[in-house]
């Protein structure tokens, strides 16, 4: 779980850095990078949450 938290912090830092660089340079490639990274992060988080939900459902009591 600590690895997922570390990955989330790194993604937030990368998105923030892309937005700051866009604000200074005006180059829309950095904005597109931040948006694309945000979308991939959301999809990844939803997949992780879905796997955790399925894991909870798949527990068979003995």
3-state secondary structure 19-60: HHHHHHHCCHHHHHHHHHHHHHHHHHHHHHHHHHHHHHHCCC
DSSP 8-state secondary structure symbol assigned to residue 61: P
State the pTM of this model.
Answer: 0.81
Q: Over the stretch 24-58, which tens digit does the pLDDT of each residue have? A: 999 999 999 999 999 999 999 999 999 989 888 87
How far is Cα of residue 4 from the mean position of the Cα atoms in its chain?
A: 9
Q: Over the stretch 3-29, which tens digit does the pLDDT of each residue have? A: 999 999 999 999 999 999 999 999 999
Whether the predicted pLDDT of 62 surpasses 60: no
DSSP 8-state secondary structure symbol assigned to residue 62: -
State residue 31's pLDDT score. 96
């Amino acid at each position: 779980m600590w690895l997922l938290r570390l990955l989330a912090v790194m993604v937030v830092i990368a998105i923030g850095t892309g937005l700051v660089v866009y604000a200074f340079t005006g180059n829309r490639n950095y904005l597109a990078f931040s948006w694309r990274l945000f979308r991939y992060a959301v999809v990844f988080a939803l997949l992780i949450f879905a796997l955790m939900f399925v894991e909870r459902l798949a527990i068979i009591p003995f």
